[in-house]
C-alpha cells in the first residue's frame, strides 16, 4: 500500500512538472528592495516553470567583469549603489527578451526599477512579446507582478551575510543559510565571494535609491491592479509556495486585481 501511494505521488509529480514546463507563463516581475530575496525566488520560479531568469544586476555585473563599454560605464555607478541610467538598461533588456528561451515567459529580477522603466517595459511587451506567439497568433499574457516586503533589519542581515559561489552561482547567507564548511561552496568547494556593493556604506545608498526611485514602480502596477504583495519575512520555501500559488492562479485565468498575501502561520 505504501509503495503504491509513493508511486502514485511520483507519477502525479511528473505529470505536474510536465504541465508546468509546457504551458505559457508570460512575464513574471519580482519587485523588492535590495536583499529582499528577488534572486532567490527568481531561481525557484526558474526551477519550477522552466522559464529563464533575467536579472539586470547579473547582466550588468557580467558586463563589468568582461570590461565591455556598458560595463565600464556602469562599474563606478554600481559601486556607489546608485541606479545605472535607464538608457543603458533598455539595450540589454530588449536584446535578452528577444532570445528564443523567453517564448513561454521569463522572470524579471531587478527590472523595472524606475517608473520610466516600467512604462518602457509595458510598451516593449505590447510591441515585441505579448502579441507574438510561436504559432504566430496573437496571444496576450499580461505580466504577473510580485512585490516582496521585508523588515529593514532583516534586509541588512540578508545583505551583509550574503555570499555567492563564483563557479556555480549558488547563494548562501552566513546568518540564515551557511555553507557546511566556512566560506566554501557545498557543491564545488570554491571560495565564496562577498559582492562589492554589499558593504554597509553602499547598502545604505542602494536602499535610498530603492526608496526614492523604485518604490514608485509598485505604485505604477498597483494603479494597474496587477500588484501582488507577498510578506517575504518568512522562510524561502514558504515564500516560494505563495508565489507558485499566484502564478498558478494567474494561469487558470484569475484576472488582475491587487492582492495582499498574509503570512501562513
Ligand atoms: P541587483 O543585482 O539587482 O541588486 P539588488 O536589487 O540590490 O538586489 P540584491 O541582488 O542585492 O538582492 P535580492 O533581492 O536579489 O536578494 P537575494 O535573493 O540575493 O542590482 C545591483 C546594482 O545594479 C544596483 O544597485 C544598480 O546599480 C544596478 N542595477 C540593476 N538593475 C538595474 C536597473 N534595472 N536599473 C538601474 N540600475 C540597475 O538574497 C539576499 C540574501 O538573503 C542571500 O544571502 C539569500 O540567501 C538570503 N535570503 C533570501 N531569502 C531569504 C529568506 N526568506 N530568509 C533568509 N534569508 C534569505
Å from CA of 237 to ligand 1 middle: 18
Predicted local distance difference test score (pLDDT) of residue 250 = 85
Q: Is the peptide bond before 112 cis (omega within 30 degrees of 0)?
A: yes
DSSP state of 193: B
Determine the atom of ligand 1 nearest the C-alpha atom of 109: 3
Q: Which residues line ligand 1 (CB under 6 A)?
A: 32, 34-40, 56-57, 60, 77-78, 81-84, 89, 110-111, 113, 117, 158, 161-162, 171, 173, 176-177, 197, 206, 235-236, 239
CA–CA distance, 60 with 147 (Å, rounded to integer):
22
State whether residue 95 is helix, strand or coil.
Answer: helix
**What was the pLDDT predicted at 185?**
97
pLDDT at residue 18, as a whole number: 57
Q: Give the whole-angstrom CA distance, residue 75 versus residue 85.
A: 12
The pLDDT assigned to 34 comes to 96
Q: Which three cell numbers mark 177?
A: 543559510
Give the single-character DSSP code of 24: -
Q: Which residues are catalytic?
A: 38, 113, 162, 195, 206
Which residue's alpha carbon is at the smallest distance from atom 34 of ligand 1? 111
Between CA 87 and CA 73 the distance in angstroms is 12
8 Cα to the center of ligand 1, angstroms: 39
Chunked in runs of 10, what are the mean pLDDT values of the chain (265 residues)?
34 51 89 96 96 96 96 96 96 93 95 97 79 50 93 94 94 94 96 94 95 96 96 97 94 58 37
Give distance in angstroms: CA of 31 to centre of ligand 1.
10
Distance 34 CA to ligand 1 centre (A): 4
Distance 198 CA to ligand 1 centre (A): 10
Structure confidence at residue 2 (pLDDT): 34
pLDDT at 137 (0 to 100): 45
Q: How far is the CA of 39 from the centre of ligand 1 (A)?
A: 6
Residue nearest atom 48 of ligand 1, based on CA coordinates: 37
Phi, psi at residue 260, to the nearest 5°?
-105, 120
SS3 230: strand
156 contacts 203 by C-beta, under 8 angstroms? yes
Q: Quick one: DSSP state of residue 264?
A: -
- Residue located nearest, by CA, to atom 1 of ligand 1: 57
For ligand 1, mutation pick of 29, 33, 39, 209 (most atoms within 8 Å of CB): 39
Which residue, judged by its Cα, is nearest atom 42 of ligand 1?
Answer: 158
What are the residue ranges of helices labelled H in 50-199? 56-66, 69-80, 86-97, 115-124, 152-160
All three cell numbers of 234: 518568512
Residue nearest ligand 1's atom 2 by CA: 57
Per-residue pLDDT, 142 = 84
**26, 143 contact by CB (below 8 A):** yes
Amino acid at each position: 500500500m505504501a509503495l503504491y501511494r509513493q508511486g502514485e505521488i511520483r507519477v502525479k509529480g511528473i505529470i505536474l512538472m510536465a504541465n508546468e514546463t509546457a504551458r505559457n507563463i508570460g512575464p513574471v516581475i519580482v519587485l523588492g528592495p535590495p536583499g529582499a530575496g528577488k534572486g532567490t525566488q527568481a531561481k525557484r520560479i526558474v526551477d519550477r516553470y522552466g522559464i529563464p531568469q533575467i536579472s539586470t544586476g547579473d547582466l550588468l555585473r557580467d558586463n563589468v567583469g568582461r570590461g565591455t563599454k556598458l560595463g565600464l560605464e556602469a562599474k563606478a555607478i554600481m559601486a556607489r549603489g546608485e541606479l545605472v541610467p535607464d538608457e543603458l538598461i533598455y539595450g540589454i533588456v530588449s536584446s535578452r527578451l528577444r532570445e528564443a528561451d523567453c517564448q513561454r515567459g521569463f522572470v524579471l529580477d531587478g527590472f523595472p526599477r524606475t517608473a520610466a522603466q516600467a512604462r518602457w517595459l509595458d510598451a516593449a511587451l505590447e510591441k515585441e512579446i505579448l502579441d507574438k506567439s510561436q504559432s504566430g497568433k496573437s496571444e496576450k499574457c499580461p505580466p504577473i507582478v510580485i512585490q516582496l516586503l521585508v523588515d529593514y533589519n532583516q534586509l541588512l542581515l540578508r545583505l551583509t551575510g550574503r555570499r555567492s559561489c563564483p563557479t556555480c552561482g549558488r547563494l548562501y547567507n552566513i546568518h540564515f543559510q551557511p555553507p557546511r564548511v566556512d566560506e566554501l561552496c557545498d557543491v564545488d568547494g570554491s571560495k565564496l565571494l562577498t559582492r562589492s556593493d554589499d558593504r554597509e556604506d553602499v547598502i545604505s545608498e542602494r536602499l535610498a535609491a530603492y526608496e526614492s526611485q523604485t518604490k514608485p514602480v509598485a505604485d505604477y502596477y498597483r494603479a494597474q491592479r496587477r500588484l501582488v504583495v507577498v510578506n517575504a519575512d518568512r522562510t524561502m520555501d514558504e515564500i516560494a509556495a505563495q508565489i507558485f500559488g499566484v502564478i498558478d492562479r494567474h494561469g487558470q485565468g484569475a484576472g488582475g486585481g491587487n492582492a495582499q498575501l498574509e503570512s501562513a502561520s
